Amino acid sequence: MGVREPSPKTAKLTPAADEAFLHALGERVRDARARRGVTRKILAQDSGVSERYLAQLESGLGNVSVLLLQRIATALNLSLVEFLQQDPEQPVELALIWQFLQRLPAQKLPLVRAQLLRDYGTANIERIKRIALIGLRGAGKSTLGSRLAKEMEVPFIELDREVEREAGTSLSEIFLLYGQAGYRRYERRCLEKVVKNNERAVIATGGSIVSEPGTYDLLLSTCRTVWLKAQPEEHMARVVAQGDTRPMTGNAEAMEDLHRILRGRNALYGRADVTIDTAHKSIEQSLQQLRKAVAT
């Protein structure tokens, strides 16, 4: 049998194309890490892939094997397909819907289709009784959320504190013992309990909840979500003003990483029902905006 002539598509695979693919792959890994707020060091610990190798991969220089890439994808709670897809520019919404449908049993798909074709009705009325605040650290979720809850005479719930109570330890210990995947499991479980046990509440979520499709979809479908938005410099300044200098300690690229996290999550945060820009505004001004937003 003779040697098969390469197809036109195969013939286009050149060193330049290989280089472009590796560069795009590195960008996807770094963007995925940034959206979750995971440092390269933590990803190295969770995946078992060296920090040096991750740096090479993210810069487009790593000739990564499928097995190592699978480890990285698992540590970030993503599928290998999401890293290898040839069309990384597909809408965020499409990717999230596809991930959600893939997790469903086949027999449930007709029910989902039927629900998408009809209005939510009373389910939407129940949903808007719970206010969920999303956004990065320093956006004002705890400060504004606690004051709004007091005015509304409803419970104020910080989801990360619920995670700590459920696990019986601090967030840092949870990440150390169980990694990102373990934290995500606690986060989902706690959100389910909060929704089940509280018909009305104001909930402050962790900044990276939007990066976990299933948990974020649950939040969007059971709560009225408000994105508290600010400039990266304000996020950083507010966190430092609270006495936490860790974001800047030993990390010369902290502000660059923060910009990248926001770029990676903008479309996800943008799925919220309401967006409130707290940039250059006092707590009272932001609270007034928040009052009006949840009253309409």
Q: What is the DSSP string of 224-275?
A: EEEEEE--HHHHHHHHHHTT--TTTTT-TTHHHHHHHHHHHHHHHHTTSSEE
User: How would residue 173 be classed by pLDDT, with cut points 50, 70 and 90?
Assistant: very high
3-state secondary structure of 136: coil
pLDDT for residue 191: 96
User: How would residue 116 be classed by pLDDT, with cut points 50, 70 and 90?
Assistant: low
Mean pLDDT of 141-151: 93
The mean-pLDDT minimum among 56-60, 115-119, 127-131, 162-166 falls in 115-119
Of residues 224, 185, 220, the one with CA closest to residue 201: 224
pLDDT for residue 119: 45
Mean pLDDT of 50-60: 87
pLDDT for residue 158: 96
Same-domain status, 142 and 29: no
* Structural domain range at position 166: 120-295
Of residues 34, 31, 26, 78, the one with CA closest to residue 212: 78
* pLDDT, tens digit (0-9, with 9 covering 90-100), for 209-249: 998 888 998 898 889 999 998 776 675 666 655 555 454 45
pLDDT for residue 126: 77
Q: How far apart are CA 295 and CA 155, in angstroms?
A: 17
CATH code of 291's domain: 3.40.50.300
Mean pLDDT of 171-193: 92
Residue 43, both tokens = 């990803």
Domain boundary among 64, 84, 104: 84
- Whether the pLDDT of residue 53 is over 80: the answer is yes
* pLDDT, tens digit (0-9, with 9 covering 90-100), for 66-83: 788 888 888 887 777 777
pLDDT for residue 189: 94
Share of the chain above pLDDT 70, in %: 77
Same-domain status, 60 and 156: no
pLDDT for residue 4: 43
Q: How far apart are CA 280 and CA 224, in angstroms?
A: 25
Q: How far apart are CA 139 and CA 258, in angstroms?
A: 13
pLDDT for residue 1: 43
Of residues 49, 42, 96, 95, the one with CA closest to residue 70: 49
CATH code of 24's domain: 1.10.260.40
Q: How far apart are CA 80 and CA 146, in angstroms?
A: 40
pLDDT for residue 152: 94
In a domain, 101, yes or no: no
Same-domain status, 34 and 124: no
Of residues 232, 228, 237, the one with CA closest to residue 277: 228
Indicate the pTM of the whole model: 0.64
pLDDT for residue 10: 43
Number of structural domains the chain divides into: 2
Q: How far apart are CA 207 and CA 15, in angstroms?
A: 39
- Kindly give the pairing relationship between strand 224-229 and strand 130-134: parallel
In a domain, 105, yes or no: no
The mean-pLDDT minimum among 45-59, 95-109, 176-190 falls in 95-109
